[in-house]
Amino acid sequence: MSEKQAQTGGIDVRYVANLARLALTEEEIATFQGQLSQIVEYVQAIDRLDVTGIEPTSHALPRYNVFRADEVRPSLDRDTVLRNAPSSRDGQFIVPKIVE
Amino acid sequence: MNYRIDIGLEVHVQLKTRSKMFCGCEVRVGAEPNTLVCPVCLGYPGAMPSMNGEAVRLTVRTGLMIGSTIDGFSKFDRKSYFYPDMPKNYQISQYDRPLCDGGAVLIGDGGVAKTVRIRRIHLEEDVAKNTHFAAASGVDFNRAGTPLMEIVTQPDMHSPEEAFAFLLALKQILQYADVSHCNLEEGNIRCDVNCSVRPEGQEALGTKTEHKNLNTFKGVLNALKVESERQIAVLNRGGKILQETRRWDADTGETAAMRSKEDAHDYRYFPEPDLMPVVLAPAEIEAWRAALPEMPAVRRARLVRDYGIPDYDAGVLVADKAVGDYFEAAAKLAPNAKLVSNWMMTEMLRLLGETERDIRTVPITPAALAALVCLTESRTINSNTAKDIFAELFEQGGDPEAIVRQRGLGQVSDASAIGMIVDEAIAENIKVFDDYRNGKVAAAKFIIGQVMKKSKGKADPQLVMKLLDARVAGG
Amino acid sequence: MKLNLSTLTVSDALAHMASGDFKSIDLVEALGAAIAVRDGELGAYVSVDLAGARAEAEAADRARAAGKAGRLCGIPIAIKDVLNVRGQPCTCASKILDGYVAPYDATAIARLRAEGAVFLGRTNMDEFAMGGSTENSAIKRTRNPRALDRVPGGSSGGSAAAVAGGLALAALGTDTGGSIRQPAAFCGCVGLKPSYGRVSRYGLTAFASSLDQIGPMTRTVRDAALLQEVLSGADPMDATCVETPVPPYAAQLTEDLRGMTLGVPAEYVVEGMDPAVAQAVQHAVERCRDLGARIVEVKLPHTMFAIATYYIIGTAEASANLARFDGVRYGLRATGATDPLDMYKRTRAAGFGPEVKRRIILGTYVLSSGYHDAYYLKAQKVRTLIRRDFEQAFASCDALLTPCTPTPAFRMGEKTQDPLQMYLGDIFTVTANLAGICGLSVPCGVAPGGLPIGLQILGPAMKEENILRVGHAYEVARGDQWLG
């Protein structure tokens, strides 16, 4: 939660976009802030409902214990995989240097 | 001021399955990079996970070993964070309904036993492996999706040594449960270590720091020693401990704060819609419980009872399940289990230690050790010869009876043949023989030494002594 | 024989090919020619693989000649560009999948392939299936074939335009909150959203995993039934896909509705609804009564909370599903980044369009620390209430009759500046996805200007046979007046 969100109870687009790893322009932030504030206000409609004792639905159908046998299946051909990669070398995907 | 150290561990254990957690790619270390990958473990558009039932079974089995509650309902959740080793940028893990709740591991041998409470065990998927180059990093997704069991303890350990002892005890249980290869060099067990200190008498825990991904137990021990001392030093100076992730550098023996993240972690957990919950029937859990292996302590008592070996030996032998298995295999074939145990306790463990080898892959087989014991028991060879043969078998394997036969190493127990050598030795050292006859007991040792030398070590020393005494008596 | 591509149905084409009137290759050539003439204007297709389709058509013709014709042997089908087809790009109408080539077939594609279907090309859509007008495509605009200044609906707008515009006999669409039914209604074709778990989602680029379904878009209900028989069934690659036996939908179709009870929900009348829509649906209800159905009024009291619930759950799941588009393993990577974090932000900023960004931000927000319970968890509980509404309604009804959309197709650009207005148009369709039930859109009239109106038929989970039966009987009684 950002300080701004905590204060206003509304959405802080700049903060959330960073969580979602989206670089937004100032113009986008302004536009989205307006649109999303309106949308967030709309979806707050569900606040009016009393859901005491109601179980949440996370799956649209009740199903349990869907297991796969522990069997090896063929993997993809590496050339196929690396052809999709924006950058690769010596069989590895290459990314900008990770700094820990 | 005196301080109390509080340590909690999150131990990640790669499970022993053939295929990955959510796809059919093989779990194997050492393959060429990115050859054990598919749309699922690469996080391709449209790919969906399918759950490896064996990984669920192994996790529950571990929980049953340590007395966890298996409440029957468990689910998977998505844990979101972006990192190049994460194919989907969320990890399929378990948030509020892990497979196993609670449990405990006993640490401390024989004397003062201590309990480390387990908070939970949950199942998740391992991440990819990053390699760092000069200007970039490489990612190999072969490891991504390997079933990973996370065992979370309560902060019940109060010294680095206790944490170390806990890890040894846990590894022993995992080996007995046969749920992981437990090979630390291959990263099968990796720890996140939480450490805090507080003044003696203070109720509340101090501010903790975390060290992630330590892959040796010694590393955990050393990092904790350094970190707990660092924290105490900071507090003694009047400073404050910052809640942070720190990095242990095994080469320099230092811990250092990692570059702080831009934002605090907000994992945004929510139930994984692509996977259905796991609901285990009580009958199934009970069937798994019934199939549990013997716990190490129970085995120790049984070895004493069944093989007649001392409790101390039994404790040493069961410490590593594979060593215990080896012992039992050899003892079943040998005439004297105690002798087998002696070999295990001395030569075997010494050579394993010196050569850093795994008993499961040494060339000497349990049957060969049993045969060697037979040869000494029947006095076909003497103990020095046996030691030499053991060393050779340890390196190269083979059949001890064949070695003895081929090289003529058999102990000579033929009284007339040895008698002639004894007579020869007496004749050459008549003065020493006289000394012995006149009561100088130590003189016998010299004569026997001469006989052994002449027989190239093959004479049975006890027989030599008997014959020498016969000569004294005879006149 | 002369092919009338704008009215030819799948079942007729199968009969004609079986009796040797024409071959699959003839169909492919004719459709290829039609696409060349008309798709420049319509923009239904993102890409057309005529060479591949010819090869598949010839293989299908050989199989038929050898007596080995599958159930869809030689039928050209257009595929929404959100499904993975081995060896083909799958753009999801997004820049972020630039350069990606799928190394595998979605299960739905594999099932069609196994029955001899021919893959003609990939249809346009709202980026990542997010939208109701296909205007959110990063690739092109698609026009409504019945009124070129209008949107075709969305997100499966390209599939609807191809089927209604005579550029495909049938198409696959996907439906997360109405994305098959609404464009079918706007373009005047049939669209079936199967029950959740009826069709494997493996290979469907996920928008909202607990809501998404793949379904057929066709010219007749019978054709939808034919395709659905092939698409349905369990899949070891999709844990949410069930083993429930697949009935012979097409064989079970009837031309009357005797013995059926159909419910009309009182809540499916909203402010701003086009009177032509209300009137057309009312006529359709009367016609069903004439066909022998008993009509009853039912209550779905939580309908007013459906849009809010849908946009919370759908965007939350989407925010995680779309996290994988990061420039590491496939697709676009923005240049100039100094570390992975920077690369993610730049790549995703450059690769996603505004609607996708909005929904990712909304979804991230409703899951974030401090807000999770108030939004996401609460929405999941409301979802339970919405499901119960339907369970109660279906306790006394075989199916429900509702309008598919409050209005016919709107003008291009009319709602692009007002996302919330766009969302509110989903009011009649999102409930089926939240409840996991099945829904069918069948043309039931036209508004002034010739704009098609869709009748929505909702059925209990795994009861596709109910809604197909109602849809077919109604369609036959209605006649061909709104087709072609």
pLDDT digits (tens, 9 = 90+) for A88-97: 999 999 999 9
Residues A39, C312: C-beta atoms closer than 8 Å = no
Does residue B291 form part of some domain?
Answer: no
Per-residue pLDDT of chain A (100 residues; tens, 9 = 90+): 777 777 776 899 999 999 999 999 999 999 999 999 999 999 999 999 999 999 999 988 889 999 999 999 999 999 999 999 999 999 999 999 998 6
Share of chain B above pLDDT 70, in %: 97
* Residue B394 confidence (pLDDT) above 70: yes
> Do B455 and B313 belong to one domain?
no
> Do B464 and B377 belong to one domain?
no
> Do B213 and B152 belong to one domain?
yes
SS3 category, C433: helix
pLDDT, tens digit (0-9, with 9 covering 90-100), for C371-392: 999 999 999 999 999 999 999 9
Across the interface, of A18, A64, A100, the residue whose CB is closest to B277 is: A64
Across the interface, of C333, C365, C384, the residue whose CB is closest to A87 is: C333
Question: Which H/E stretch holds residue C63?
Answer: helix C50-65
Across the interface, of C343, C381, C419, the residue whose CB is closest to A96 is: C343
Does residue B419 form part of some domain?
Answer: yes
Mean pLDDT of chain B: 91
The C-alpha angle with vertex C112 and arms to C108 and C113, in degrees rounded to 5, equals: 115
> Do B63 and B165 belong to one domain?
yes
> Do B147 and B225 belong to one domain?
yes
* Residue C484: predicted pLDDT: 39
SS3 category, C322: helix
> Do B448 and B349 belong to one domain?
no
| ipTM of the modeled complex | 0.97
Measured between CA atoms, the residue of chain B closest to residue C97 is B45
* Residue C335 confidence (pLDDT) above 80: yes
Residues B132, A97: C-beta atoms closer than 8 Å = yes
Which pLDDT band holds residue B455 (cuts at 50, 70, 90)? confident
Query: Who's near A90: CB < 8 A, 6+ residues apart?
Result: B33, B138
Question: Do the beta carbons of residue B241 and residue B234 sit within 8 Å?
Answer: yes
Torsion of CA B112, B113, B116, B122, to 10 degrees: 150
**Residue B88 in tokens:** 């989907």
* Residue B475: predicted pLDDT: 54
Cα–Cα nearest to C223, from C117, C125, C124, C142: C117
> Do B233 and B301 belong to one domain?
no
Of the candidates B356, B380, B407, which is a domain's last residue?
A: B407
* Residue C389: predicted pLDDT: 98
Domain residues for the domain of B448 are: 415-474
Chain B neighbours among A 52-81 (CB < 8 Å)? 58-59, 63-76, 78, 81
Contacts of B45 in chain C (CB under 8 A): 84, 90, 92, 97, 100, 102, 205-206, 324, 330
Measured between CA atoms, the residue of chain B closest to residue C369 is B266
- Ranking B82-96, B246-260, C7-21, C276-290 by mean pLDDT, the lowest is B246-260
pLDDT, tens digit (0-9, with 9 covering 90-100), for B123-169: 999 999 999 999 999 999 999 999 999 999 999 999 999 999 999 99
pLDDT, tens digit (0-9, with 9 covering 90-100), for C73-105: 999 999 999 999 999 999 999 999 999 999 999
Contacts of A99 in chain B (CB under 8 A): 259
SS3 category, C240: coil
Minimal CA separation from B192 to chain A, in Å? 16
In Å, the largest CA–CA distance within chain C is 70
Residue written as tokens 């003008």? C411
Does residue B186 form part of some domain?
Answer: yes
> Do B162 and B64 belong to one domain?
yes
Residues C209, B273: C-beta atoms closer than 8 Å = yes
* Residue B407 confidence (pLDDT) above 80: no
Catalytic machinery residues of C: 80, 155, 179
Residues A63, C377: C-beta atoms closer than 8 Å = no
Mean pLDDT of chain C: 96
Residues C236, B50: C-beta atoms closer than 8 Å = yes
Of the candidates B377, B407, B437, which is a domain's last residue?
A: B407
Q: By the CB < 8 Å criterion, does A100 face chain B?
A: yes
Helical axes B321-333 vs B311-319, angle rounded to 10°: 120
Which pLDDT band holds residue B413 (cuts at 50, 70, 90)? low
Contacts of B137 in chain C (CB under 8 A): 340
Residues A95, B137: C-beta atoms closer than 8 Å = yes
> Do B275 and B307 belong to one domain?
no
Chain C neighbours among B 24-43 (CB < 8 Å)? 39, 42-43
* Residue B429 confidence (pLDDT) above 50: yes
Measured between CA atoms, the residue of chain B closest to residue C337 is B136
Question: Do the beta carbons of residue C192 and residue C440 sit within 8 Å?
Answer: yes
Residues A70, B82: C-beta atoms closer than 8 Å = no
Share of chain C above pLDDT 90, in %: 95
* Residue B261: predicted pLDDT: 54
- Ranking B272-286, B445-459, C32-46 by mean pLDDT, the lowest is B445-459
Residues B273, A89: C-beta atoms closer than 8 Å = no
Which pLDDT band holds residue B262 (cuts at 50, 70, 90)? very low
Distance CA B426, CA C87 (A): 94
Does residue B352 form part of some domain?
Answer: yes
Mean pLDDT of chain A: 93
Across the interface, of A11, A39, A93, the residue whose CB is closest to C311 is: A39
Question: Do the beta carbons of residue B133 and residue B142 sit within 8 Å?
Answer: no
* Residue B260 confidence (pLDDT) above 70: no
Which pLDDT band holds residue B109 (cuts at 50, 70, 90)? low
Question: Do the beta carbons of residue A73 and residue C315 sit within 8 Å?
Answer: no
> Do B362 and B222 belong to one domain?
no
For residue C107, the one-letter residue type is T
pLDDT, tens digit (0-9, with 9 covering 90-100), for B200-251: 999 999 999 999 999 999 999 999 999 999 999 999 999 999 999 999 988 8
Residues B19, A90: C-beta atoms closer than 8 Å = no
> For chain C, which chains pass the contact test of at least 3 CB pairs under 8 Å?
A, B
Domains and CATH numbers, chain A: 3-48 (1.10.20)
pLDDT, tens digit (0-9, with 9 covering 90-100), for C239-285: 999 999 999 999 999 999 999 999 999 999 888 899 999 999 999 99
CATH code for position C7: 3.90.1300.10
* Residue B405 confidence (pLDDT) above 90: no
Of the candidates B368, B385, B407, which is a domain's last residue?
A: B407
pLDDT, tens digit (0-9, with 9 covering 90-100), for C441-470: 999 999 999 999 999 999 999 999 999 999
Question: Do the beta carbons of residue C212 and residue C155 sit within 8 Å?
Answer: no
Q: By the CB < 8 Å criterion, does C274 face chain B?
A: no
| Number of domains chain C contains | 1
B-interface mutation test, from A14, A57, A67, most B Cβ less than 10 A away:
A67
Cα–Cα nearest to C228, from C473, C478, C462: C462
| Number of domains chain B contains | 3
Contacts of B53 in chain A (CB under 8 A): 67-70
Cis peptide before C200 (omega within 30 of 0): no
Distance CA C477, CA C256 (A): 9
CATH code for position B458: 1.10.10.410
Minimal CA separation from A76 to chain B, in Å? 5
Minimal CA separation from B57 to chain C, in Å? 18
Does residue B60 form part of some domain?
Answer: yes
